[in-house]
Structure 1
Amino acid sequence: MELVQANDENGNNDETGNLGYRQPPHNLEAEQAILGAILVNNEAAQKVQGFLQPEHFFEPVHGRIYESVLKLMDKNQIADPVKLKPYFDNDEALSDVGGAQYLVRLAASAATIINTEDYGRTIYDLAMRRSLIQIGEEMVNDAYDAPIDEEAMEQISAAEKQLFDLAELGQSESGAQTFSRALKVAVENIENAFKDPDSLSGVTTGLTKLNDQIGGLHNSDLMILAGRPAMGKTALATNIAFNAAHRYHQDLVAGVDMNMSKGAVCCFFSLEMSADQLAARILSDRANEHYNGPDSIQSHAMRQGKLTQDQFEAIARAAMEMEDLPLFIDDTPALTIAGLRTRARRLKRQHNLGLVVVDYLQLLRGGGKGGSENRVQEISEITRGLKGLAKELHVPVLALSQLSRQVEQRENKRPMLSDLRESGSIEQDADMVMFVFREEYYKEKEEPSLSDHEKHQTWQAEMENLYGKAEVIVGKQRHGPVGTVRLGFIKEVTRFTDLVEDDHLPERF
């Protein structure tokens, strides 16, 4: 057989069309044209700098020229061949093409400013294709040479993460970034918070005092909301999820710039309650906004059908209002952390997911290797996975957690960080830890005998003082102070509210 004698520029043989070698997809002429346009008129860079990064250029020296232009522009200086020449006089990569004079030739080959964005999109698209090729090659090589103790699902999850990063961030892996880029993002976040009328840097909880304490739910943060049974942690998480989704829908209808919205598309992973039970709980809460009758509409009464006509009509109105609410509920039982990541990534791509709530952490499963893994190690894997998910999707993750029974043994039953089950990993990985505490619940169990009139009167006075009150104790916060936030709690409809003053509280006993 004769050897292939000549290939065209794409690596195809001229005579037979057989494939010789293939270069990664690129277009040097487009790169030169766009750099020339930017050097002639720096305003051209404003059309592409939102999506085009230096690493998207195939020719490394083109990427460095583009990066230098952006740095000069950030300093409000004009970037032209004369200004850039000192930076590239000794650049060895330019020596083969004529040294710093190459900058002048780039300016001479400038594309018109009208075409700049089209050229930028072409360069970006080719960079994406090169990254896809790299991911594909790694997938093939890893599948052939996989270690014996690595499961196929782990490789699928890793490949899925790379594809997600490529689709969302424009790069298959984040890697190290310059301090100037990180600084720019930080300043933009501070500026947005400064201009925001809500003075929030994160997603709203819908509770003013809690927002003031924590500044909202911050992107990339793992927040733990813990409490003993019957404290209302699921109710508070449900309230927060609804409030964030409701705010997002309101801003969307009002035509607000959604990049500035303090709401979020939310997914509630309910491993304990079914989706219809959770929806019924939210529905009963919202239906009371439309009902002015003597008794509140309670979710258990809804399930049993014990409703008046007015109550049913209020429920119907509330249901119609919430039809378009961007709130997703996933009630898959015994969900693995890998499965949760997959579903969250899909929602991020399809619906711009902005908040993840997990109820609750101890019901998630880890990798499941061997089936006899130590529970503490499994919880560590889960919390690391949730923190990784928050950073990967750049969304807040609110995970509920149970507390150990040692709380019940103390006279002061306010929870502490040491009360977290498997607290080492949870406390370490979380950016924020909050505890829900209702003293009313414990005081109610201490009711003395009616025969002891004096003790019963004292207990009754204490109950009246505690009725409808709850505390959210911020035990750890990386971005701010710890402390206690006092909230109102309407037990009948499981809703947390901003605390009403004592002289407006309803009478109970």
Structure 2
Amino acid sequence: MTEIATLRPALPLAPATTAAAAPAAEAEVLPHNIEAEQQLLGAILTNNDVYDRISSLVKAEHFFDPVHQRIFQKAAARILKNALASPVTLKPFFEEDEGLRELGGPAYLVRLAGAAISAFAARDYAQMIYDLAVRRELIALGRDIAAKAAKVDVANEPKEQITEAEQKLYKLGEQGVAERGFQSFLKAVTDAVNVANAAYQRGGGLAGISTGLVDLDKKLGGLHESDLLILAGRPSMGKTSLATNIAFNVAKAYRRGRKPDGSEGAVEGGAVGFFSLEMSAEQLAARILSEASEVPSEQIRRGDMTEGEFRRFVEAAKALENCPLYIDDTPALPISQVAARARRLKRTQGLDLLVIDYLQLLKGSSKGSEQNRVQEVSEITQGLKAIAKELNIPVIALSQLSRQVESREDKRPQLSDLRESGSIEQDADVVMFVYRDEYYKEREKPGDHELEKMAAWQATMEQVHGKAEVIIGKQRHGPIGSVELSFEGRFTRFGNLAKPWQGGGGDVGV
């Protein structure tokens, strides 16, 4: 492909660009438009407000000329600090720049600003630069795929190549670059400031998505992008119920708008993907409707409802039919398929939170992992963390606990109780355990003839009834500790526990 025709002649006095340092044949093949890059940079250096209009579309890596990349990066850094970016203020940063020296030194910055026609067309130039960058990436990606496919290797299976290609294509579609590689500390610092600013603007002290459970939000600071959260517990503790409640709360609060970085997306709540490997989509929906309509789930299953309860059930279903909660109940999915389906969902419907119920029901992708379960779980947890980072969303994965919990007197779970715990504990950013003392105390009921023991048991049951604990055993970015929640078993619903000093003394539902 030859170079794209430009909108106007090249800038006067502009010598050959440093891109010419690449082989001539390569420069001919790869589509680019140096004049559009010059026009956009000139518009920014003349009027810094232009940057706000194009910053969500174009990044430094989209420029073809490496010198233009550096000029854009330095200008953006100054503008984000509310400092002026002009040929004069940028000059000190480029005194020793070899690439700029080939173009005439800092005087090139002056020529850029002087030859800029109008800020009005800046968005069009930005779109052109972005489109050409994507075309270059597509060409490079196509060559890479072809080269790998041509190399016949036993270890490099076609299925794995397809998954890898799909992953790179997804990144390209979302971010305009297929391979990120190293990035400057300046960019990393800017991103960190933007995250902190978003949390500050939100005002509630949450840097992430709210779970709908106030005390849990305070401890976690919400669900953070690119975090892997493990939610573990013994059977009947309420793992699935808590995960379903959080997923429902996030989807119910969904509101779309303009985010602080200028892009469109969820400003409250979010779209949720739920991989239910244990229960069917219909069973999971029934649980959510039980919580929303306050009709016990066993009555829904049996169809044993009064007219009023059935009306509430139907009204709840109507109210929630547009909820952005997407359920995939395919059993025994390999981790590569989970990644592929999550990417597809984000591309087509949007995705802000992913829930997997549960981790031990996933399969590894490689054949060798079948013989070694610990190795397979390690591959799965690494894969889940990679999904969280790649899609920039929180991932909640449920996990079973080993039976050794039951043999202890204090049955509160701890990190060592995680099955195949090494990799799970290592890869997770947050590890939480669901614990309900009521479940164990119910099973310690003394005989009716033991009056004293019965009285003591009833007093204990009153204290623990309708309460649950979420024990945070690990948190990479915050404190560990315990959070008390209310639990209504009939509706499989967790809620905020009202404190005695808040008055009322009852449980507050979500």
Q: How many residues align?
A: 482
Given that 2:2 and 2:29 are in contact with CA atoms closer than 8 Å, whether structure 1 keeps it comes out as no
Does residue 346 of the first structure (1) align with residue 352 of the second (2)? Answer: no
| 2:149 is the alignment partner of 1:151 | no
CA shift at 1:104, angstroms?
Answer: 2.9
1:96-175 matches, cutoff 5 A: 96-175=102-181
What residue number does 1:413 align with?
A: 411
- For 2:69, give the aligned amino acid: G
Structure 1 pair 253/10, CA: closer, same or farther in 2 (3 Å)? closer
The CA deviation at 1:9 is: 6.3
Structure 1 pair 501/75, CA: closer, same or farther in 2 (3 Å)?
Answer: closer
Q: What residue in structure 1 maps to residue 9 of structure 2? A: none
Matched AA of 2:56? G
Indicate the residue corresponding to 2:485 in structure 1: 487
Greater CA drift, 218-227 or 74-83: 74-83
TM-score by length of 2: 0.89
Partner residue, 1:277: 283
Residue matched to 2:183: 177
For 1:3, the equivalent position in structure 2 comes to none
Q: 1:95 to 1:200 in 2, by over 3 A?
A: closer
Counterpart contact for 2:79–2:85, Cα < 8 Å = yes
Query: Which of the two has higher C-alpha Rg?
Result: 1
Distance 1:310 1:10, change over 3 A: closer
Query: Deviation per CA, 1:365-419, whole angstroms, max 9, x where unpaired?
Result: 0014157420000000000000000000000000000000000000000000000
Counterparts of 1:327 and 1:260 in 2: how far apart (Å)? 14
- Picking from 320, 323, 326, the partner of 1:322 is 320
Cα shift at 1:79 = 2.9
SS at match of 1:424: helix
CA deviation vs aligned residue, 1:107-136 (integer Å, no higher than 9, x gap): 332131101111111011100100011111
Most deviating of 179-188 and 129-138: 179-188
Q: 1:438 to 1:170 in 2, by over 3 A?
A: same
Give the Cα separation in 2 of the matches to 1:45 and 1:263.
29
CA spacing shift, 1:160–1:247, aligned 2, 3 Å: same
Offset at residue 183 of structure 1 (A): 1.3
1:77–1:224 Cα change, 3 Å: closer
Cα distance in 1 between the residues matched to 2:426 and 2:37? 46
Secondary structure of the equivalent of 1:409? coil
Tell me which moved more, 50-59 or 200-209: 50-59
For the 8 Å contact 1:192–1:260, the answer to whether it is kept is no
Q: Where do 1:370-385 residues align within 5 Å? A: 370=368, 372-385=370-383
Separation of aligned partners in 2, 1:320 and 1:372: 44
Moved more, 113-122 or 185-194: 185-194
CA distance in 2, matches of 1:365, 1:230: 24
User: What does the per-residue CA deviation read over 1:243-285, in whole Å, with 9 as the maximum and x for residues that have no partner?
Assistant: 000011xx34999997573411101100000000000111111
The 1-side partners of 2:114 and 2:130 are apart by: 23
CA distance in 2, matches of 1:505, 1:96: 74
2:223 is the alignment partner of 1:217: yes
**Offset of residue 325 of structure 1:** 0.4
CA contact (8 A) 1:272 1:359 kept: yes
1:54 equivalenced with 2:52 (yes/no): no
How far apart in 2 are the matches of 1:227 and 1:150?
38
- Distance in 2 (alpha carbons) for counterparts of 1:372 and 1:254: 46
- 1:371–1:173 CA distance, 2 compared to 1 (3 A): closer
Which runs of 5 or more residues in structure 1 are unaligned?
1-6, 12-19, 289-296
Please give the alpha-carbon distance, in whole angstroms, between the structure 2 residues aligned to 1:9 and 1:107: 24
Q: In the alignment, what sits opposite 1:298?
A: 296
Aligned partner letter, 1:321: A
**Does 265-274 or 189-198 show the bigger shift?**
189-198
- 1:100 CA displacement: 3.3
Pair 1:196 & 2:180 matched: no
Return 104-113 or 166-175, whichever deviates more.
104-113
State the AA in 2 paired with 1:117.
R
Aligned to 1:369: 367
Query: How far apart are the structure 1 equivalents of 2:495 and 2:481?
Result: 18
Distance 1:356 1:50, change over 3 A: same
Shift of 1:47: 2.1
Q: Is 1:23–2:32 an aligned residue pair?
A: no
Deviates more, 1:179-188 or 1:33-42: 33-42
Matched with 1:291 is none
SS at match of 1:353: coil
Q: What is the identity percentage for the equivalent residue pairs of Structure 1 and Structure 2?
A: 52
* Residue 87 of structure 1, CA deviation: 3.7
CA contact (8 A) 2:259 2:265 kept: no
Separation (CA, whole Å) in 2 of partners of 1:10 and 1:263: 43
Aligned residue identity for 2:232: A
Residue correspondence of structure 1 range 383-398 to structure 2 within 5 A? 383-398=381-396
Q: Is the 8 A contact 1:227 1:415 kept in 2?
A: yes
Which deviates further from its counterpart, 27-36 or 426-435? 27-36
Q: Conserved in 1, the CA contact under 8 Å of 2:4 and 2:33?
A: no
Question: After the TM superposition, which of the residue ranges 24-33 and 397-406 deviates more from structure 2?
Answer: 24-33
Using the alignment, how far apart are the partners of 2:350 and 2:178 within structure 1? 19
Query: Aligned partners of 1:286, 1:104: CA distance in 2, in Å?
Result: 63
Q: CA deviation at 1:505?
A: 5.2
Judged with a 3 Å threshold, the aligned counterparts in structure 2 of structure 1 residues 458 and 199 are, in CA distance, closer, same or farther, namely same
**Partner letter of residue 111 of structure 1?**
I
- Between 1:371-380 and 1:41-50, the stretch displaced more is 41-50
Rounded to whole Å, the distance in 1 between the matches of 2:252 and 2:109 is 53
Structure 1 letter corresponding to 2:246: I
Secondary structure of residue in 1 paired with 2:432: strand
Determine the C-alpha separation between the residues in 1 that align with 2:470 and 2:425. Answer: 17
- Asked whether the 8 Å contact 1:192–1:201 carries over to 2, the reply is yes
Q: For residue 436 of structure 1, what is the aligned residue in structure 2? A: 434
- Aligned alpha-carbon RMSD (Å): 2.4
Following TM superposition, by how much is the alpha carbon of 1:306 offset from its aligned partner in structure 2, in angstroms? Answer: 1.1
**Displaced runs of 4+ in structure 1, greater than 6 A?**
7-11, 253-258
Q: Offset at 1:10?
A: 7.6
Structure 2: state its 5+ residue gaps: 6-24
Residues 92 and 201 of structure 1, relative CA distance in 2, 3 Å threshold: closer
Indicate if the aligned counterparts of 2:356 and 2:397 stay in contact, CA closer than 8 A: yes
Please say if residues 369 and 375 of structure 2, whose CA atoms lie closer than 8 Å, have aligned partners that are also in contact. Answer: no
| Matching residue of 1:15 | none
Is the 1:285–1:494 contact (alpha carbons within 8 Å) kept by the matching residues of 2? Answer: yes
Letter aligned with residue 299 of structure 1: S
Q: Is the 8 A contact 1:202 1:262 kept in 2?
A: no
State how far apart, in whole Å, the 2-side matches of 1:494 and 1:349 are. 32
Q: Is the 8 A contact 1:34 1:111 kept in 2?
A: no
